[in-house]
Structure 1
Amino acid sequence: MLSPNFLSTDNVFNVLRQVAVITILAYGAMTLIIGGMIDLSAGAVMAFAGVASVMVYKSTGNLLFGVLAGIAVGMICNLINAFLVATLRTPAFIVTLGMMLMARGAVLELTQGQNVLQLGDFILIGQGNLGWLPIPVLILIVVTIVIWYLMNQTRYGRSVYAVGGNEEAARAAGIAVEKVKYQAFLVNGALVGIAGVIFMSRVNAGLPNAGIGYELQAITAPIIGGTSFSGGVGTVFGTLAGALIVGVLGNIMNLIGIGSYVQQIVMGLIIVVAVAYDVFSKRGKARTTILKSDAKGETLPTAREGTVPAGGGTAAS
Structure 2
Amino acid sequence: MSAIRGRVRGLPEWDRCAVMGVVNVTPDSFSDGGRWFDTEAAIKRGLDLLAQGADLVDVGGESTRPGATRVDEPEEIRRVLPVVRALAAEGAVVSVDTMRASVAERAVRAGARLVNDVSGGRADPAMVPVVAAEGVPFVVMHWRGQSADMNDRAVYRRVVPEVLAELRQSLDAAVAGGIDPESLIVDPGLGFAKTAPHDLELIAGLGQLHALGRPLLVAASRKRFLGTVLADADGTPPPARDRDAATAAITTLAAHAGAWAVRVHEVAASADAVRVVRAVRDQRGVSDPPPAPGAG
Bigger relative CO (Cα 8 Å, ≥ 6 apart):
1
TM-score, normalisation: structure 1 = 0.29
TM-score, normalisation: structure 2 = 0.30
Larger radius of gyration: 1
More strand by share: 2
More helix by share: 1
